[in-house]
C-alpha cells in the first residue's frame, strides 16, 4: 500500500507550550485514521501541520508524495478540510456556497461540479435554502460537500459530528467510508469511541504525544488490560468506591453495569470481592476502547493545554 502520509519527528510550540511532541505517523492511501484524545491534547494542531496550515518547528517527511515542509501550497490544493465550527456563509444558499468554493479553487465546469456535489450528498432539493437556516446534520452535509468539491486526495475532519444527531452521524460515516473506498485518505479527530471503531486505525494523542497507534483490536490487545463487568443495583455508587481501591485503574458505570479495569487480575478480584454476591453478578469481559484510554490517561501526567 502506498503511503499518503509519512512524517517523522513532528514538533510545534506556541511560546512555552510544546503542543506537538515528536510525532511520527504513516497513513496508507484510502485509509481512515482516527485521532482521539482529550481537549487540548494536540489533535487539531497535528492536523493543521500535516496539511500545511501551520509551519512545524521541526520534522521531515512527505504528504501525498510531497515534502510537507516545502510543498505546502501543492499539498493544500489536494486537501479538503472540514473544521469543527461551521465556516461557510450563513446568508448564502447551499448552492451559492458551493459555487463560491468552486470559484475559489478555479474549477472547470463549475455548474456541473456543484450539481454533482448536491446530488451526491442529497442536497439537491434544498439547494435554495440559506445555510444559516439548516439543522446541524444538513450543515454537516454541506460542509462535507464543500470540503470534497475539488476532488481532494486527503480529507481532514476536525470533530465533524459534534452536536449532530445519531442518524446524521451514521449517514455521515457511511459517506466517509464510500469516499475512502474510492481512494480518499481521511484523518478525523473525534471524541466518540464508536466513531473511532469505525476508522481503519487509530492514533491516541495526549500531551502532544502520539502514545498509541494501530487498529482498535491491536490497541486493546497491547494494553494488557483486564476488565470485569458487574451488574446490579446502584452501580454508580459502587464505581466511585471501586476507583479508590488498589489495583483499579478505572471503574465506569454504564447504565445498570460497571466496568472495572486494571492490569493485575488478583488485585481486581480483591477489589470487587465485597460485591461478589447477590444481587450482583460479575464476569471477566473484553476491555473496550474507553477502558484502554482511561488507562492511558492514568499512566500520563496531566499536562494539557489549549491546541
Asked if residue 230 is part of any domain, the answer here is yes
Radius of gyration of the chain from Cα atoms? Answer: 22
Phi/psi for 197 (5° steps) reads -70, -15
Among 142, 141, 148, smallest CA distance to 173 is for: 141
Sheet of 79-82: strand order equals 79-82, 154-158, 185-189, 32-36, 201-206, 209-214
Contact 202, 192 (CB under 8 A): no
pLDDT at position 266: 95
What pLDDT is recorded for position 300? 66
Close Cβ partners of 215 (under 8 Å, ≥ 6 residues apart): 200, 201, 202
- Among candidate residues 80, 162, 154, 90, the one with its CA nearest the CA of residue 117: 80
Cis bond upstream, residue 252 (ω within 30): no
Per the CB < 8 A criterion, the answer to whether 251 and 260 are in contact is yes
Nearest to 145 by CA among 126, 168, 173, 117: 117
Please report the pLDDT score of residue 233 as a whole number.
86
Do residues 139 and 126 lie in contact, with contact meaning Cβ atoms separated by under 8 Å? Answer: no
- Long-range pairs, 251-257, Cβ under 8 A, ≥24: 252/290, 252/291, 252/294, 256/231, 256/232, 257/229, 257/230, 257/231
Q: Is the pTM of this model over 0.85?
A: yes
Same domain, 249 and 181: no
Tens digits of pLDDT across the chain (307 residues): 699 999 999 999 999 999 999 999 999 999 999 999 888 899 999 999 999 999 999 999 999 999 999 999 999 999 999 988 888 999 999 999 999 999 999 999 999 999 999 999 999 999 999 999 999 889 999 999 999 999 999 999 998 887 788 888 899 999 999 999 999 999 999 888 888 999 999 999 999 999 999 999 999 999 999 999 999 888 888 898 999 999 999 898 888 899 999 999 999 999 999 999 889 999 999 998 988 988 887 766 555 444 4
CATH number at residue 258: 3.30.70.100
What pLDDT does residue 305 have? 44
φ and ψ at residue 74, rounded to 5 degrees: -65, -35
Residue 179 lies in a domain: yes
End-to-end CA distance of the chain, in Å? 32
Residues 237 and 172 in one domain: no
Same domain, 208 and 250: no
69 domain-assigned: yes
Of the three residues 185, 219, 253, the one that is the final residue of a domain is 219
Q: At what angle do helices 110-120 and 94-104 cross, to 10 degrees?
A: 130
Type and span of the H or E element at 34: strand 32-36
Check whether residue 206 and residue 241 sit in a common domain. Answer: no
Q: Do 157 and 82 contact (CB within 8 A), yes or no? A: yes
Number of independent structural domains in the chain: 2
Looking at residue 69, what is its pLDDT? Answer: 93
Report the C-alpha gap between 37 and 50 in whole angstroms: 17
pLDDT computed for residue 301 by the predictor: 59
Q: What are phi and psi of 66, to 5 degrees?
A: -115, 145
Is there a single domain that holds both residue 150 and residue 265? no
Per the domain annotation, does 48 fall within a domain? yes
Amino acid at each position: 500500500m502506498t503511503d499518503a502520509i509519512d512524517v517523522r519527528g513532528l514538533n510545534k510550540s506556541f511560546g512555552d507550550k510544546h503542543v506537538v511532541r515528536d510525532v511520527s505517523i504513516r497513513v496508507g492511501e484510502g485509509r481512515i485514521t482516527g485521532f482521539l484524545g482529550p481537549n487540548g491534547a494536540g489533535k487539531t494542531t497535528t492536523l493543521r501541520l500535516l496539511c500545511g496550515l501551520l509551519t512545524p518547528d521541526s520534522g521531515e517527511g512527505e504528504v501525498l508524495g510531497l515534502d510537507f515542509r516545502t510543498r505546502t501550497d501543492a499539498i493544500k490544493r489536494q486537501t479538503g478540510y472540514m473544521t469543527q465550527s461551521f465556516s461557510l456563509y450563513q446568508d448564502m444558499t447551499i448552492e451559492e456556497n458551493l459555487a463560491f468554493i468552486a470559484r475559489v479553487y478555479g474549477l472547470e465546469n463549475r455548474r456541473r461540479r456543484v450539481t454533482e456535489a448536491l446530488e451526491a450528498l442529497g442536497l439537491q432539493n434544498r439547494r435554495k435554502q440559506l445555510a444559516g437556516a439548516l439543522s446541524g446534520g444538513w450543515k454537516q452535509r454541506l460542509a462535507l460537500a464543500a470540503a470534497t468539491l475539488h476532488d481532494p486526495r486527503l480529507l481532514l475532519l476536525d470533530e465533524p459530528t459534534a452536536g449532530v444527531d445519531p442518524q446524521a452521524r451514521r449517514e455521515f460515516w457511511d459517506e466517509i467510508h464510500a469516499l475512502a473506498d474510492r481512494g480518499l485518505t481521511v484523518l478525523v479527530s473525534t471524541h466518540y469511541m464508536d466513531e473511532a471503531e469505525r476508522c481503519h486505525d487509530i492514533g491516541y494523542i495526549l500531551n502532544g504525544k502520539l502514545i498509541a497507534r494501530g487498529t482498535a483490536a491491536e490497541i486493546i490487545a497491547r494494553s494488557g488490560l483486564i476488565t470485569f463487568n458487574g451488574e446490579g443495583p446502584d452501580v454508580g455508587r459502587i464505581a466511585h468506591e471501586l476507583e479508590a481501591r488498589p489495583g483499579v485503574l478505572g471503574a465506569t458505570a454504564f447504565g445498570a453495569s460497571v466496568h472495572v479495569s486494571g492490569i493485575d487480575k488478583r488485585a481486581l478480584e480483591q477489589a470487587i470481592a465485597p460485591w461478589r454476591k447477590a444481587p450482583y453478578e460479575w464476569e471477566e469481559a473484553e476491555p473496550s476502547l474507553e477502558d484502554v484510554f482511561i488507562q492511558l490517561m492514568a499512566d500520563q501526567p496531566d499536562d494539557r493545554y489549549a491546541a
